[in-house]
Amino acid sequence: MTAADILGYAAGALTAFTFLPQVLKTWKEKSAKDISLYMFVIAFVNEIMWLIYGVMIDNWVIILTNAVMLVMSAIMIMLKFKYNHQ
């Protein structure tokens, strides 16, 4: 495994959890007025594309990273609708 490989895996692992602080903050504060719905809708659609791509090229790093992000985007979309006006 090269230094580039290690950096790529580390970057991928961190990417998977990018949305986690937002999910936790919105969950806790029950306020999502300032959150862009479109951002998470774009992310949701985009992660489905990445998942299909990951399956097509049989790359488990892409599949797992985007499966985590897909779930978090779905949660954020639900939280946005639930807490939009608070």
- Report how far residue 15's alpha carbon sits from residue 29's, in angstroms, rounded to the nearest whole number: 24
Residues 39-58 that bind its own copies (CB under 8 A): 39, 42-43, 45-46, 49-50, 52-53, 56-57
61 binds its own copies (CB under 8 A): no
Nearest CB to its own copies, comparing residues 25 and 78:
25
Four-residue CA torsion sign, 71, 77, 81, 86: positive
21 binds its own copies (CB under 8 A): yes
Task: Tell me which H or E stretch contains 55.
Answer: helix 37-56
Q: Which two tokens stand for residue 79?
A: 């939280």
Determine the length of the chain. Answer: 86
Residues that bind its own copies (CB under 8 A): 3-4, 7-8, 10-11, 14-15, 17-22, 24-26, 29, 31-39, 42-43, 45-46, 49-50, 52-53, 56-57
